[in-house]
Amino acid sequence: MRDFNEETITDAVVDRFDGTENPRLRQIMQALVRHAHAFVREVELTQEEWLAAIGFLTRTGHITDDKRQEFILLSDTLGISMLVDAINHRMPDGATETTVLGPFYVDNPPVQPADADISGGETGTPLYVTATVSAPDGTPLAGAQVDVWQSDEDGYYDVQKPGDDPNLRARFIADEDGRISFWSIVPKYYPIPADGPVGDMLEATGRHPYRPAHIHFMIAHEGYETLVTHLFMEGDPYLDSDAVFGVKQSLIVAPQAQTGPAPAAANKPQGSAWMRLDHRFGLKPTA
């Protein structure tokens, strides 16, 4: 067939994928073409705008390396990461809700014993965290592997700073009661990396780059789906406008100011006032 026009081109391209052997790949490619063409038609895209979009994606690729993932950031700021997450993690009662992984997870963080201080000397309000990991019915999951990571008080993760030392990240193995505990510092809100094309997009559209204060958790145990989530700090000014749409009410927690003697006091980060957070995570059994 020849002479494709505005009316006929979409079906022609969709049909060209008819021979795709893998049915799932065929479904994805044909739907992608239909939706992309519908988008171009809806906004009557100009050639300059299409070239600008290609330039944007080219810059997104060029700035991406093994330390910076601008494509994930783009997916996050367009809400695609959270939509994929929602579709793939429909949780039963008693299981903790999920949220974005984000670009700053590092596989195999250093394993730390119970009550370790993961703050690495960073300044901030000391925070003592205890968490239990259980099945939805409350059965403790001994041996659960709990990875934790967070930014420093200035909003930077260790991988964004010079040097290779892991900081404010660790792996804990839950004890026989499914419990872990550690010292850290109270996190603060921070901007996602905004000095690249995604930042340009946010600025051009009048959006701010901030994420409300949070601590990341990735929790794994055999027989259960790996849980990727955060705990967000109550009262944060960005809870209702997270740049990546990751906040869920059930993940908002309120660390309590403490006055009594600190647990594992030798490990407590510098600072007299300290806070405490106790939380229960529920994992969803694999089907």
List of residues contacting ligand BEZ (CB under 6 A):
73, 76, 100, 102-104, 192, 211, 244
Minimum Å distance from CB 216 to Fe ion? Answer: 6
Minimum Å distance from CB 26 to ligand BEZ? Answer: 32
Minimum CB distance to Fe ion smaller for 73 or for 220: 73
Alpha-helical regions (H) of the chain: 9-16, 23-43, 47-62, 70-77, 80-88, 197-204
Give the C-alpha separation, 147 to 108, whole Å: 8
Minimum CB distance to ligand BEZ smaller for 41 or for 67: 67
The token duo for 86 is: 């929602």
Minimum Å distance from CB 121 to Fe ion? Answer: 20
Over 220-274, what HEC string results? ECCCECCEEEEEEECCCCCCCCCCCCCCCHHHEECCEEECCCCCCHHHCCCCCCE
Minimum CB distance to ligand BEZ smaller for 69 or for 132: 69
73 binds, among Fe ion, ligand BEZ, none (CB under 5 to 8 A by kind): ligand BEZ
Residues in 102-121 that interact with Fe ion by CB under 5 A: 102
Give the C-alpha separation, 149 to 90, whole Å: 24
Give the C-alpha separation, 174 to 197, whole Å: 40
Region from 100-108, 122-130, 138-146, 247-255 binding Fe ion, contact rule CB under 5 A: 100-108
Region from 30-38, 99-107, 161-169, 259-267 binding Fe ion, contact rule CB under 5 A: 99-107
In the 8-state DSSP scheme, what is residue 170? E
Minimum Å distance from CB 171 to ligand BEZ? Answer: 17
103 binds, among ligand BEZ, Fe ion, none (CB under 5 to 8 A by kind): ligand BEZ
Minimum CB distance to ligand BEZ smaller for 74 or for 277: 74
Minimum CB distance to ligand BEZ smaller for 28 or for 80: 80
Closest chain position to ligand BEZ (CB): 102
In the 8-state DSSP scheme, what is residue 172? E
Minimum Å distance from CB 103 to ligand BEZ? Answer: 5
Closest chain position to Fe ion (CB): 102
Burial 69-104 (b: 16+ CB within 10 A, else e): bbebbbbbbeeebbeebbeebebeeebbbbbbbbbb
Helix, strand or coil, per DSSP, at residue 145: strand
Minimum CB distance to ligand BEZ smaller for 22 or for 205: 205
Give the C-alpha separation, 210 to 212, whole Å: 7
Minimum Å distance from CB 104 to ligand BEZ? Answer: 5
Give the C-alpha separation, 42 to 19, whole Å: 29
Which residues of this protein are in contact with Fe ion, per CB under 5 A? 102
